[in-house]
Structure 1
Amino acid sequence: MSQSTDTTTLPASPWPALWAMVIGFFMILVDSTIVSVATPAIRDDLAADYNAVIWVTSAYLLAYAVPLLITGRLGDRLGPKRVYLTGLTIFTASSLWCGLTGSIEWLIIARVLQGFGASMMTPQTMSVITRTFPADSRGRAMALWGATAGVATLVGPVLGGVLVDTAGWEWIFFINVPVGIIGFVLAWRLVPALETHSHSFDWVGVGLSALAMFLIVFGIQEGEEYDWGTINGWLSVPLLIGVGLLVLAVFVWWQARNRREPLVPLSLFRDRNFSVASVAISTVSFSVTAMAFPFMLWTQTVLGYDATQSGLLFVPMAVVTAVMAPIVGRMADRLPPRRLASVGFAVSALALLGTALVIAPDTPLWQLLVLNALLGFGNAFLWSPLASTATRNLPMSSAGAGSGVYNATRQVGAVLGSAAIAAAITARLAVHVPGAGDAGAEAVSGQGLPAEFAGPFSDAMAESIVVPAVAFAVGLLVVQFFARPAHAEPSTSRSSRT
């Protein structure tokens, strides 16, 4: 049931509001990958080990992912504008805290708060698109959303490299403060107040989902650290992961049993395209998050690039994605999503496999640039078609819940990608540099890699990159289950959406 708390008529064009929200959305997605290039600097400056630095990213992604299930619903209840502005305030303030912190422990805590702020913002962008754009132009709106998501995750390492080398790693967080203030003013002025819908909150579901995610992610990321065995006494890595999966099963059971208003309305998954798109976007996020870590470690460790030079290798990806996204957005309003997404997944998987094959101490620069451009081309065919297909048939009263679930699956993919790649890197280094595990850590800390380890280290990073390539291949299989969506929408005046 819904109750209107605002009868404001929407502005003549919904585009200014979307552009205002895109600023904040871009900022929070950049923060999902910007830390990857700053890993050596943070580790060295805060005297932390490699696994702890990985948690700087994983903690952010985990705190970002879990609340999405409820912050989307919160936007339906309180209004997307109000929730977005609150989240932006939290994100901006915690960014300042991240830059001022002096220990790895406090940095991780600040990143948790930052992730929570991001989780309040993201569902509102998709909700506003769904509720203010008619179906026949929603693909173009999602193209902007998709271009923002795709470019932001690729720009993060570029921007991070420049800031780390010119100003210090703290500035990858400080830069969010003026951007956040500008984004707040624009969103406050341009985003309309939309109709709200009364909802109850499934706090049991929140607790179960949070516990399940933490146990699974912690087990995957820390598994190699404890040789996939005992952590302390009877507590073991397999037990943690097993309990996490069990709690996840209980969460799904509870969602089916909850007769009031579940955290995840399972009825959303009756729409096959919503289900397929949600699973598919998780593989995209998994891969984009995972591939940055081994690539950055290899370029800085073996090729001897500094942070800026390593980040600039992602420029072809960002440029190609930005150029192609509007073109793909127009295609998304006309062509079957299976066709577009298949191109994106196939090209992206081939690009990463090609990268894994060419990585060596003497890899020519042009090969990396061509393959990165190819990856950007593939990514452009993923973000917009998947998002527009997922939300096309959602009822307006469920726009927030649907965008929350969709973005939650996307962020779960990122969390698992971060945890999985950390485990993969550690495992492959143990194989290729046996008995010299400190060599990898020594390289990451900026002390230099002995020449005899350059080849084995390259092999370890190349094999790690296969992990996100396989995830792209899984996504290719998943999107074959897309049904062609009905593009027609019952005639609805825009004023009736308010």
Structure 2
Amino acid sequence: MDQTLVAVALPGIREDLDASINQAVWVSAVYLLTFAVPLLIAGRLGDHFGQRNVYLVGISIFTLGAIACSLAPTIEILIALRAVQGLGASLANPQPLSVINRIFPRHRRGAAMGIWSAVAGSAGLFGPVIGGLVVGTVGWRWTFALYLPLGLICIALVALWVPKLPTMAGRIDFLSALVSLIAVLAVVFSVQQGPDLGWPLWLWGLLIVGVVAAIVFIRLQKSAARRGTEALVPLELFQYRNFSLGVFAVTMLGFTVYSVNLPIMLYLQEGAGLTSQIAGLLLVPMAVISMFIAPVIGRVTDNVAPGRVSILGFSSLIVSMALFGIFMFLEVSPAWMLIPIVLLGAANGLCWSPNSTISMRDLPPHLVGAASGVYNTSRQVGAVLGAASLGAVMQIVGRYADFNIAMGSALLFPVIFLVLGLIAVSNFQADPRITSTSDPQN
């Protein structure tokens, strides 16, 4: 819920702490940055120290950071504390996916993933409603204080019920870890801040540094065994066809789903003239449908051919985005927007759980932690690229057309990437062949 809760709280934060627009933006931006950058390493730390242990450390840091945020006296301190929160979230984020894949047998992982996806997906969608209620009644500081009881419950339940699993990894390749931090930090920061800063020359230089660091990182993974260490991202992961396709597909999902709420909410409030409360309530069906459909779809995924559900999900998402764009172009009554909103909720349930299930279920245990880090990093990088791209589309089209056309164009733009994701999931295989003649499980 964090990003959507904080997004609702930003106007109150700005007013109370006398913050500039740029400082208010950084309350969210710095969290995304410190969340995305360490994800690759976080997955491997779970292998090395145990997913349960790393999760407990991460959620403790996140919760303590949230309490500190609720007490922050200045905007500068709040931004610094949000960076700490993002780090805690990054440590915790890849671990549940690893645990699910290690404790559930292959034929039951879809059902487990369905419940996991329902909670994860609906929390973000309910965020604007809960955030609006909290901010409107007790103030923005309580959007952070809310995490104290939630964090304590989380820590207690995980400590009591999640088993201590055997560790899987040997030495951590700290050189690769450092290079990966540089690569992800440079790329994510450049893409995230480029539209706001107007892409100055130094930012292009930073982006090039990130790309070069990514190339060096790949070479380091190839030479890991020769250097007497274990690869942070074992390249044998990408010999598994379904994992490679799933990583690409989740990048396309992240590009779309994490970015569309902004143009939708802007259109409903500024284009259609709805209040923020009514606009938030209009999105509730999307969250409810996604929450209820995901567990059912998870069980279905265990019993049908890989890709069948995902094809339906990506197709529904494409239709939903097209309807959003067309309806905004035509400036239809807000009631008509319920059609793509409901369809988007269904598409969420049909996409996320099957994609993660099929991507991960055929991997051997020693690769699961690294795979979780790669999978979650791909999703998050997709989200950052999507947010920057949709923001650019809104700004560019807005210079030459009216507001509604700009918002509609921003929602039509992801269709290109969703079609690529649809092609990827259409190629999932029931018995995924490995692109190497050797068996990676040996």
1:471 to 396, 414, 417: 417
Distance 1:168 1:420, change over 3 A: farther
Matches within 5 A, 1:235-274: 235=202, 237-259=203-225, 260-274=229-243
Structure 1 residue 347: deviation in Å? Answer: 0.8
Partner of 2:72: 101
Matches within 5 A, 1:49-448: 49-230=20-201, 235=202, 237-259=203-225, 260-359=229-328, 363-432=332-401
Q: CA RMSD in A?
A: 2.3
Write the deviation string for residues 443-481 of structure 1: whole angstroms up to 9, x where unpaired: xxxxxxxxxxxxx22222222223334332332122233
How far, CA to CA, are the matches of 2:362 and 2:22 in structure 1? Answer: 42
Give the secondary structure class of the aligned counterpart of 1:195. Answer: coil
CA contact (8 A) 1:273 1:389 kept: yes
Distance 1:428 1:283, change over 3 A: same
How far, CA to CA, are the matches of 1:485 and 1:152 in structure 2? Answer: 34
How far, CA to CA, are the matches of 1:330 and 1:357 in structure 2? Answer: 34
- The count of residues paired between Structure 1 and Structure 2 equals 429
How far, CA to CA, are the matches of 1:106 and 1:419 in structure 2? Answer: 26
* 1:482 paired to 2:431: no
CA contact (8 A) 1:33 1:289 kept: no
CA contact (8 A) 1:71 1:404 kept: yes
Write the deviation string for residues 151-179 of structure 1: whole angstroms up to 9, x where unpaired: 22322222222222223233222211111
Unaligned 5+ segments in structure 2 are 433-442
Distance 1:483 1:49, change over 3 A: farther
- The TM-score, its normalising length taken from structure 2, stands at 0.90
How far, CA to CA, are the matches of 1:305 and 1:278 in structure 2? Answer: 37
Distance 1:183 1:102, change over 3 A: same
How far, CA to CA, are the matches of 2:220 and 2:135 in structure 1? Answer: 46
Distance 1:69 1:270, change over 3 A: same
* 1:461 paired to 2:384: no
Letter in 1 for 2:204: P
Give the secondary structure class of the aligned counterpart of 1:290. Answer: coil
Partner of 1:442: none
Structure 1 residue 125: deviation in Å? Answer: 0.8
How far, CA to CA, are the matches of 1:74 and 1:410 in structure 2? Answer: 19
Give the secondary structure class of the aligned counterpart of 2:303. Answer: coil
CA contact (8 A) 2:234 2:367 kept: no
Task: Give the share of equivalent positions with the same residue, in percent.
Answer: 40
Letter in 1 for 2:219: W
CA contact (8 A) 2:195 2:388 kept: no
Distance 1:47 1:352, change over 3 A: farther
Letter in 1 for 2:97: M
How far, CA to CA, are the matches of 1:318 and 1:302 in structure 2? Answer: 22
- The TM-score, its normalising length taken from structure 1, stands at 0.80
Range with bigger deviation, 284-293 or 266-275: 284-293
How far, CA to CA, are the matches of 2:176 and 2:398 in structure 1? Answer: 39
Letter in 2 for 1:482: F
Question: Structure 1: which 4+ aligned runs deviate by more than 6 Å?
Answer: none
Write the deviation string for residues 336-368 of structure 1: whole angstroms up to 9, x where unpaired: 232211111111122122112222695422212
CA contact (8 A) 1:277 1:390 kept: yes
Letter in 1 for 2:175: V
How far, CA to CA, are the matches of 1:163 and 1:264 in structure 2? Answer: 41
Unaligned 5+ segments in structure 1 are 1-29, 433-455, 487-498
Write the deviation string for residues 420-462 of structure 1: whole angstroms up to 9, x where unpaired: 3333333344444xxxxxxxxxxxxxxxxxxxxxxx2222222
